[in-house]
Chains A and B, each alone.
Chain A
Amino acid sequence: MAEPDRPRPQAAASASPGFSGAEPTAAEAAEAPRSRLAEAVWASLPSALSVALSLLICLLMIAITKGSLSLAGNAYLEMLRGGLGDLETFGETGAWTQLTRPWGEAATKAAILTFTGLSVAVAYRAGLFNIGAQGQMTVGAITAAVLGAKLSLPFGLHAAVCVLGAAAAGGAYAVLPAVLKLRRGVHEVISTIMLNWIAISLVENWLVVGPLRATTTGNNSISGTDQILPTAVLPRLLSDGSRMHFGFILALLAAVATWVWLFRTRLGFETRAMGQNAEAARAAGIPSARRALQAMVLAGALAGVAGSVLVQGTEMRFPATLGAPYGFDGIAIALIGETHPLGVAASALLFGVLRAGGTRMQLLGVHKSFPELIQGLALLFVAGRLIWQWALTRRRKRAPAPAAAAPPSSAPPAVSTPGAAAAGGGA
């Protein structure tokens, strides 16, 4: 399944992650063989700077609304303590829970964000914009909740069946936008938006409050579906109160597997080729319709697993609502991670930590959804990637660089985006 030998420039371009605009031009790649690490650092610079800028602006926002810069600094410290562990208290008491509990919270959030982020990233690499991760995740979550509560299977197998069932449901739900796009030319952004609300309406406002509502015993009413059986629960990894569970490992494995698939297999190569230039890919004999369908099903499956991780890892049932718009967050996670699977895992980890710490910020009167603001702003800055590129390359030019290799500075290279590539066909 190894990628066949390709001419040098292409191979170099495919090895450098993400950020299509910053990929070396053929001339650059041939002339200045910078180390892969330097290339990766360079490519991730806009994202890193975006996150840093967003953190700074949000710090100032707390400082302004609360009228105190030191309070804002303390709020950030609390956020880190809530996500990475309270080192001081650990040092004083030696209680490991001071560390493992925050880690668990960060890991459970990071696991879900990794899956939805990968979902968006995989579709994006194929030139499709999957806004529908929220709906696919909802479908996956309800499937996992039903399978977890109704089936009776041995420990381990039961959990696996639930995860796979959720993946199948999410994947199936993503077939529809793919088929509509291929057969009818319906833009996937529009169809997935519709499918999101269809899934949310039908699951949260019908199934969960109607046919699948938890059977109540006595007077205590429970919102959500029946609790899943203990055999379907994703096992906890650490003892004493930490909620870190097997889903975190699954997420890391999924990120690595997606990376291998995208960058080390022929299928992945063809998928990415299609995302960069669908027409050229078709001319080269790549069955683009099939690749698009495959990518979309994979994206849906990943989002579906996000739902099962939520249900089997922490909630133990389909709750009244999914709680946070993890599917929409996936868009932010994917793009901040440069739609590179490992970058996605990194950005999911970062925001998992920040969001786990969000609850702790509440001690200082800052709303727990504050990390979501950091995330949203960071996505906004990443969206302006051409600005970063312009600012960074201008600096880079001034440095003594091989002048011949520099492209004309006035025109930033056109970024090929799914929106641009596909929306023209009409939604």
Chain B
Amino acid sequence: MIQVLEALLFSTLEYAPALIFASLGAVLSERSGVVNIGVEGMMRVGAFAAAVAALAVPTPVGVLAGMAAGAGLAAVHAYLCVKWRSDQVVSGMALNLVALAGMTFLLESLYSPTGTPSIEQLHRWTIPGLASVPLLRGLSGHSAMTYLALAAPFGFHLFLWRTAAGLRLRSAGEKPAAVATMGISVSLLRTLAVLGSGTLAGLGGAALSTSTLDRFEHHMPSGLGFMAVAAIVFGRWTPLGAFGAALFFAAGNALRIGLASSAPEVLEVIPQGFLLALPYVLTLLLLSTRQRQSGAPAALGTAYDPEAR
């Protein structure tokens, strides 16, 4: 039993970083008032850029390339949504479609239709004291991505709720006019938040292609970006809530994969489709029972127009 839990813990922590980073990114953007359902696309370009860069340079540098690529796509989102007040959902979906088809095109013209060649995976760290402790052993042997992903949500929590910059960022999503009255640029705040969001989504994508696996595969991130959106809704638009939801979803996925490989007879009783649908069903249930108090920022999705009254 301990071994099963241990394996589950290990596999959850392998799979979770991508989802955690993407969720944190989405929280950052949406807290500032900009809907970001382009996370899926930003993860995709991040995963691709990181893997391609890592073919030439050391893998950690490749991760930086992935972050930059995510930020690049986010810059388009920020330009359209903040500067030109475009529909944020349309822009996000457009970026998803562009990233989906664009990376497929680049992958096929540069490498093969299925994926890039293998790269050197990020170094896996063994935590000295844990290797002999049952259960906690599962915490050891991950890449820096995992440990960063476990720490980052707390950092973001402190940033958003304990610093002036965090307060301003949240205010831009609640009552942008009030922020503007303080003489602070709403556009700048939101642009920075969206760029940060893209960087994090790119990092999440890079986690898939450099840490979870050792190459970019054609289907990446296969819906994880949308699961990140579910995670922030589930976590009421807070970094720690989204972190918890992301961990929970990742554990569900680890369970499903573990069952498929080691105990397929269980999946005869509970079909895989049920387990796959579970995160979304739970999010929807939570939304439908929580009456009008979702925790969403008040100005989410509304473009800030300084001249509107």
The answer to whether B273 touches A414, judged by C-beta atoms less than 8 angstroms apart, is: no
Chain B: minimal CB distance from A247 (Å): 24
Interface hit among A24-32, A303-311, A370-378: A370-378
**Among residues 252 to 309 in chain B, which have CB atoms less than 8 Å away from a CB atom of chain A?**
271-274, 276-277, 280-281, 283-284, 287-288, 290-294, 296, 298-303, 305, 307-308
Select from chain A the residue with minimum beta-carbon distance to B230: A194
Chain B: minimal CB distance from A334 (Å): 10
The answer to whether B91 touches A426, judged by C-beta atoms less than 8 angstroms apart, is: no
Q: Which of A202, A382, A426 contacts B273 (CB 8 A)?
A: A202
Chain B: minimal CB distance from A118 (Å): 17
Interface hit among B64-72, B94-102, B164-172, B195-203: B94-102
Interface hit among A152-160, A238-246, A384-392: A384-392
B290: chain A residues at CB < 8 Å are: 184
The reply on B233 being an interface residue by CB < 8 A is yes
The reply on B181 being an interface residue by CB < 8 A is no
Select from chain A the residue with minimum beta-carbon distance to B272: A205
Chain A: minimal CB distance from B171 (Å): 15
The reply on A207 being an interface residue by CB < 8 A is yes
The answer to whether B296 touches A205, judged by C-beta atoms less than 8 angstroms apart, is: no
Select from chain B the residue with minimum beta-carbon distance to A374: B101
The answer to whether B88 touches A419, judged by C-beta atoms less than 8 angstroms apart, is: yes
The answer to whether B86 touches A193, judged by C-beta atoms less than 8 angstroms apart, is: no
Select from chain A the residue with minimum beta-carbon distance to B291: A184
Select from chain B the residue with minimum beta-carbon distance to A376: B97
B301: chain A residues at CB < 8 Å are: 187, 419-420, 422-424
Q: Which of B102, B284, B305 contacts A414 (CB 8 A)?
A: B305
Interface hit among B8-16, B105-113, B124-132: B105-113
Chain B: minimal CB distance from A129 (Å): 5
Interface hit among A229-237, A272-280, A361-369: A361-369
The reply on A70 being an interface residue by CB < 8 A is no
Instruction: Assess A380 versus B98: contact at CB under 8 Å? Given A184-B291, A191-B287, A414-B308.
Output: yes
Q: Complex: how many Å from CA A108 to CA B307? A: 47
Interface band, chain B: 35 or more
The answer to whether B230 touches A205, judged by C-beta atoms less than 8 angstroms apart, is: no
Instruction: Assess A186 versus B97: contact at CB under 8 Å? Given A180-B287, A195-B284, A205-B276.
Output: no
The reply on A79 being an interface residue by CB < 8 A is no
The answer to whether B109 touches A66, judged by C-beta atoms less than 8 angstroms apart, is: yes
The answer to whether B91 touches A380, judged by C-beta atoms less than 8 angstroms apart, is: yes
Q: Which of A65, A201, A375, A426 contacts B292 (CB 8 A)?
A: A426
Instruction: Assess A201 versus B280: contact at CB under 8 Å? Given A370-B105, A384-B86.
Output: yes
The answer to whether B273 touches A424, judged by C-beta atoms less than 8 angstroms apart, is: no
The answer to whether B303 touches A420, judged by C-beta atoms less than 8 angstroms apart, is: yes
The reply on A261 being an interface residue by CB < 8 A is no
The answer to whether A194 touches B87, judged by C-beta atoms less than 8 angstroms apart, is: no
Q: Complex: how many Å from CA A197 to CA B293? A: 24
The answer to whether A376 touches B100, judged by C-beta atoms less than 8 angstroms apart, is: yes
The answer to whether A383 touches B80, judged by C-beta atoms less than 8 angstroms apart, is: yes
Q: Do most interface residues of chain A lie in helix, strand or loop, or is the interface mixed? A: helix
The answer to whether B271 touches A197, judged by C-beta atoms less than 8 angstroms apart, is: no
Number of A-B contacts (CB under 8 A): 197
Instruction: Assess A190 versus B93: contact at CB under 8 Å? Given A372-B101, A411-B307.
Output: no
Interface centre among A204, A366, A373, A422 (most CB of B within 10 A): A373
The answer to whether A194 touches B283, judged by C-beta atoms less than 8 angstroms apart, is: yes
The reply on B123 being an interface residue by CB < 8 A is no
Flag B70-88 by CB within 8 Å of A: 1 or 0 each. 0000001000100011111
Chain A: minimal CB distance from B78 (Å): 12
The reply on A90 being an interface residue by CB < 8 A is no
Instruction: Assess A383 versus B91: contact at CB under 8 Å? Given A186-B288, A194-B230.
Output: yes
Select from chain B the residue with minimum beta-carbon distance to A334: B90
Instruction: Assess A380 versus B287: contact at CB under 8 Å? Given A367-B113, A385-B86, A424-B300.
Output: no
The reply on A415 being an interface residue by CB < 8 A is yes
The answer to whether A189 touches B37, judged by C-beta atoms less than 8 angstroms apart, is: yes
Select from chain B the residue with minimum beta-carbon distance to A176: B284
The reply on B226 being an interface residue by CB < 8 A is yes
Q: Which of B105, B284, B299 contacts A367 (CB 8 A)?
A: B105
Q: Complex: how many Å from CA A290 to CA B256? A: 41
The answer to whether A380 touches B283, judged by C-beta atoms less than 8 angstroms apart, is: no
The answer to whether B296 touches A426, judged by C-beta atoms less than 8 angstroms apart, is: yes
**Among residues 178 to 218 in chain A, which have CB atoms less than 8 Å away from a CB atom of chain B?**
180, 184-187, 189-191, 193-198, 201-207, 209-210
The answer to whether B101 touches A373, judged by C-beta atoms less than 8 angstroms apart, is: yes
Instruction: Assess A372 versus B97: contact at CB under 8 Å? Given A206-B271, A411-B307.
Output: yes
Q: Which of A129, A202, A328, A424 contacts B277 (CB 8 A)?
A: A202
The answer to whether B274 touches A384, judged by C-beta atoms less than 8 angstroms apart, is: no
The reply on A139 being an interface residue by CB < 8 A is no
The reply on A131 being an interface residue by CB < 8 A is yes
Q: Complex: how many Å from CA A69 to CA B233? A: 47
The answer to whether B84 touches A365, judged by C-beta atoms less than 8 angstroms apart, is: no
Instruction: Assess A419 versus B288: contact at CB under 8 Å? Given A193-B37, A206-B272, A373-B105.
Output: no
The answer to whether A206 touches B273, judged by C-beta atoms less than 8 angstroms apart, is: yes
Select from chain A the residue with minimum beta-carbon distance to B89: A419
The answer to whether B288 touches A190, judged by C-beta atoms less than 8 angstroms apart, is: no
Chain A: minimal CB distance from B106 (Å): 7
Select from chain A the residue with minimum beta-carbon distance to B105: A367
B109: chain A residues at CB < 8 Å are: 65-66, 365-367
CB<8 Å pairs between A and B, sample of 11: A65-B106, A202-B274, A209-B273, A210-B273, A369-B104, A369-B105, A373-B101, A376-B101, A380-B95, A384-B84, A414-B305
